[in-house]
Every structure is written in C-alpha cells, then in structure tokens.
Amino acid sequence: MASIDRGIDFSSWSDELRGILRRRLAECGGLALITLSVVIVVALATWSVQDPSLSHATDGPVRNLLGTPGAVGADLLMQLFGLASIVLVLPVAVWGWRIAGHRPFDREWLRLACWLAAVLLGSTFTACLPKSATWPLPSGLGGVIGDAMLRAPSALFGSLPGIAVFVIAVLSAAGAIVSIAVAIRAGRSDAPALDERWAREAAGPADDDEERASIKLGWLVHGLLSLKARLVRLISR
C-alpha cells in the first residue's frame, strides 16, 4: 500500500497512531474492493438482456437484483467483454483480501497492467468459442472487445482457418491465466507483511550485524561480572 503512504503525511504523528491509522485504512480499502467484487458478481449473475440499459429502453420490470444501476452496469460489461467479464472480478477480490489482511501488496502498476491484459486475452479466448442460438447479444461470447481482438489477425492475414482460431484460443487462454497469476502474485514471495514493514519503519533504520553482536556481547559480559560479584559476596559472608 505504498500509495497510502505517499498520499498522506504521517510525519507529525506518533508512531503508534500512524500504525493504527495505516492498518484501518488498509482494512477499509480491502473491504471496499471485496464489496465491489461482490456487487459486480451479483449484477452479472442476475443480468438479463430484457432489462433497461443504455442500448435497450423499456418500461418493463427490472430483473437485476441491484435494480436499474445493476442492470445498466451488467449490460455494459456483457456488451464489451461478454463472458470474460468475470475476469474483471477475480483479481480485484484477491487484491481486497490481501490488503485487508495486511499482506504484501506492491508493484501496483504491474498488477494493473496484467489485470487489463488478462481481460483482453480472456475476451479473445471467449470470442473464439462458438455461440449458441440462445446467446442474446449480436456480438460473440467475448463481447465487442473480443470480436475486435479476433478480427485483428483477420485484417492482416485474411480469413482465418479453423486451426488458426484454435491456436489463438489456446494462446489467449494461456496468456490470460498467466496474466491473472501475475496480477494476483506480483510481489516477491519473501516480501514482508504490511504490519512488519510499518513496524520496521516506525523503529527506524536497523542496526548492522556488528553493532547487534557487540551489544549482545556487552550484555553477556555484564551478566558474567554481576554473577561473579554476587558469588564473591556470598563466599565472603
């Protein structure tokens, strides 16, 4: 959550207050992302092409559980990305879980870029799938974006044979999976948790190994001298 650190000046606050505020901000931000993911899933799960939307004006009842806003948002996502709309939700939910749990979350731009790449590649993959007669949209299963991604090779090489579409489907599916994995786990595996990192920052720069060793040796010598003095006093008595 480097963006939180950069956005607020904590320099004039106590270390304890800064740590508490950072944890609460991280938890609120993570819960907000998780809530947003749940809202999108509910809207997509109850989407109906008969609901009012930007492309369909009707006075009929709204079937979406989130009402007209949910119907409009779900229809927009389905029109653009088709079935690949679910790819939008998974990384966001995992990000929220990591942030709310004070787990490492760095390289935000890399995560965002891989997330967008996963959405585009997922739309390309679903656009390669044949749509059934019950599919209610004029575009393919990948929406308008998926159809555009699939038509790009056709514009360069002409009509694509079935084997070429199959290869594109395999490559785009593999690319989407890899992009999602990187977006979820972009940080280093040995990166410290947010609580540990903030605690280290509050404690100031760490001492080097030699200084720590000298301090431990000093305590050991002090303990031995104290023990010797007590034994001398005990024997003299």
- Which tens digit of pLDDT belongs to each residue from 108-146? 888 999 999 999 999 999 999 888 888 888 888 999 999
Residue 165 clears pLDDT 50, i.e. is over it: yes
Two structure tokens written together for 105: 């979350």
Which structure tokens are listed for 75?
Answer: 């229809």
Phi-psi region of 50 (alpha: psi -120 to 50; beta: other; left: phi over 0): alpha
Complete DSSP assignment for 110-179: HHHHHHHHHHHHHHHHHHHSPPPTT--SSS-TTHHHHHHHHHHHHHHH-SPPHHHHHHHHHHHHHHHHHH
- Look at 13-27, 37-51, 162-176 and tell me which has the smallest mean pLDDT: 13-27
| pTM score, whole prediction | 0.67
Nearest Cα to 172, choosing from 129, 118, 110?
A: 118
pLDDT digits (tens, 9 = 90+) for 170-216: 999 999 999 999 998 865 444 445 545 544 544 444 445 555 555 55
d(CA 144, CA 130): 15
What DSSP string describes 183-232?
HHS-S-TTPPPHHHHHHHHHH-SPPPHHHHHHHHHHHHHHHHHHHHHHHH
